[in-house]
Chain A
């Protein structure tokens, strides 16, 4: 049981490039979400999903897209990377009662 996995661990992009951050969970959790962590601001919700085929925006969705074709996978796409998207990104999935389990994070640097 691997829990929540994220790839890559670290990525450097140039402004304007696109990329996909991968997230997968093997716990059959229905709820999955993406957060970004910036210094002094805690974690902020980007997008979330309550099941396959259902996604919605969180607090800071601009510049990001998501899709959920399976229960296991919830990729986050950066359409045209900007320096303001330099951050650490966390994927999480949730079991009953609201407890969310986090992946190890992806550190993204946009030059």
Chain B
């Protein structure tokens, strides 16, 4: 079974600074997906960024980028120019594609880490 570990229960950062959230995972699979989800106080789960394991290039989405180290099984999230709206719980998640339909679409079960609470201070 896969496990996902987020070793930082809480982090804080000043507005406009950069912060990195850590995530490690354990798997014997070679084909998988990794995700970072954000959960603000509203409780809505929002996808931040997605990485496919077979792609060597690190994913980026505006101010959010990842450092994907496949051999080390590490998947950290860097938030640049932090904003007050970034205050949230952040979850790292792992998915091994386990099902596919006739069109070749792949799905799988998500395994989540415990989460990191990020607070951005003005």
A52 is an interface residue with CB less than 8 A from chain B: no
Q: How large is the interface on B (under 10, 10 to 19, 20 to 34, 35 or more residues)?
A: 20 to 34
With A43-B91, A90-B45 known as contacts, the answer to whether A31 contacts B99 (CB < 8 A) is yes
What is the chain A residue whose CB lies nearest that of B94? Answer: A98
Q: How far is the CB of B33 from chain A (nearest CB, A)?
A: 4
B91→A105 contact, CB < 8 A: no
Q: How many residues of A contact B (CB 8 A)?
A: 28
**CA A92 – CA B108 in complex, angstroms?**
12
B95 is an interface residue with CB less than 8 A from chain A: yes
Residues of B within 8 A of A45 (CB): 109-111
A88→B43 contact, CB < 8 A: yes
B107→A98 contact, CB < 8 A: yes
A74 is an interface residue with CB less than 8 A from chain B: no
Q: Is the interface of B mostly helix, strand, loop or mixed?
A: strand
Interface-facing stretch out of B14-22, B64-72, B80-88, B112-120: B112-120
**CA A41 – CA B106 in complex, angstroms?**
26
A104→B43 contact, CB < 8 A: yes
**CA A30 – CA B101 in complex, angstroms?**
9
B11 is an interface residue with CB less than 8 A from chain A: no
A104→B44 contact, CB < 8 A: yes
**CA A42 – CA B92 in complex, angstroms?**
9
